[in-house]
Amino acid sequence: MSGGLSATARLALLARLSKRRGGEAPRPEAGSARDFTTLPGMRDYALLKAAMESLAVESPLFRAHDGLAGAHSRIGGREVVNFASYNYLDLNGDPRVQAAARDAIGRYGVSPSGSRITSGERDLHLALERALAALHGAEAALTFVSGHATNVTTIGHLMGPRDIVVHDAAIHNSCTEGIRLSGARRIPFAHNDLGAAAREMAAARRGAQRALLLVEGHYSMDGDVPDLARCIALAREQDAWLMVDEAHGVGAIGPTGRGVAEAQGVDPAGVDLWMGTLSKTLSACGGYIAARADVIDWLRHTVPGSVYSVGLAPPLAAAALEALRIMLAEPERVARLQANGAGLRERLRARGFDTGPSIGSAIVPVILGSSLRTAKVAGALLARGVAVQTVTFPAVPEQSARLRFFLSAAHSEADLDHAATALAEAAASIGRVEHLPGDHLTGDHLTGDHLTGEHQNGLG
């Protein structure tokens, strides 16, 4: 329920709300330049919130978990089967990971108390970066305090106004924000359509100084993967850099969780920039870039998101390092996660649900179409003891509003059975629901980011 509506979508929403409220449509409050309600984004949010309230739909967002969010969790004082968290390998809460974080606090405190370039460097940072570089077969790596900021600052720093970035339409919001910061020309292509990517790159490459091809290793909206070998070939053919965002791929893809390169038997050296996060499988918080040693050395000394930011908190670095060690030492966790993803996908498909192109690993979407129906089904699911994320308009075009099931290695067969049965019951209890007012429009509904109707993937 965030993002900017186009003028046409805003008028349609106002018209529909006006009919519902007896001719009295909500209007942004007029005020001075200091009035935040004059912001288009705030007006749009107020309209969408009013639409939900007028239809008596409870927001599925910001539900507080009472404790550790693993395969099971507690929301509102009751236990639920949890498919709403990124705890893919059940390492958040693992005693070894917790002990590593406690030991780091005992030695270093909670904060490094400075940027790394000045006084915030700790040996934990370097040990973690060596392990992350090895994970991707790269020469070096650099960590950041935020996964989102990793993409924003790295892409914003690497690219410039004379450059182009050709990217999958389902790429994460952090990537599009980084491109916007850089001033480079942003050229999206239809999701996983590398033929379209090749055409776009060929048409734009000649007039650009530098080019970047940008994809994800495991797409968080659809749960599918790119053809990495074709991505590498396209980048080499067009003299472009290739960047792969493995935020959701590490721990979920490949026999030992090393990501899409391992899964597809591709030499990871063909990728120029590997990006990842510490907040999913690695059970901490932050992000990283892995690349050639000279690139990382340059970033360490110049990229604003590192130079002008405090260093990664020692307990987070220690937790991520220990989680990575466990992941590599216990590949059976990865196998269980992948089996659970495939198992849930097949259970849902057998009941007639659209799970899109998901390969059945960490992420299984259920595409319901209507945002209102999606929100209501999520509420009915929670009442049946199943927590799941919703992705609704304008985060995605209305016709592709969905539930997103995030799997864990700790989910049991009984959990999967319960989720599939509960979803069938919840969907049947809700039935057909009309579309959210104005959100039948799937074109330029996302001001400043996706102006051609692509996904606006900004939900982690």
What residues act catalytically? 220, 248, 280
Q: What is the C-alpha separation between 329 and 369, in angstroms, rounded? A: 41
Strand bridging mode 211-216 / 185-189: unpaired
Alpha helix (H) residue ranges in 22-88: 40-54
Edge-to-edge, what's the strand order for the sheet holding 78-83?
Answer: 72-75, 78-83, 386-391, 401-406, 363-369
User: Of 387, 456, 395, which is closest to residue 85 (Cα–Cα)?
Assistant: 387
Single-letter residue type at 457? N
Question: Which SS3 state, helix, strand or coil, does residue 123 take?
Answer: helix
- What DSSP line would sit under 240-293, residue for residue? -EEEEE-TTTTTTSSTTS--HHHHHT--GGG-SEEEEESSSTT-S--EEEEE-H
Q: How far apart are CA 360 and CA 411, in angstroms?
A: 14
Q: How far is the C-alpha of 130 from the C-alpha of 138, rounded, in Å?
A: 9
Say if residues 359 and 343 touch (Cβ distance below 8 Å).
no
Angstrom distance (rounded) from CA 414 to CA 422: 12
Residue with tokens 């260093």: 311
Element (H, E) at 288: strand 287-291
Q: Please give the Cα distance from 259 to 244 (Å, whole number).
A: 10
What string of DSSP letters covers 385-442? TEEEEEE-TTTS-GGGEEEEEEP-TT--HHHHHHHHHHHHHHHHHH---PPPTTTT--
Whether 305 and 286 have beta carbons less than 8 Å apart is answered as no
Question: d(Cα 340, Cα 418) in Å, to the nearest integer?
Answer: 13
In 3-state terms, what secondary structure has residue 144? strand
Angle formed by the axes of helices 314-329 and 95-108, nearest 10°? 150
Candidates 113, 83, 179; CA nearest to 406 is 83
User: Which amino acid is present at 41?
Assistant: G
Residue 339's contacts (CB-CB under 8 Å, 6 or more residues apart) are: none
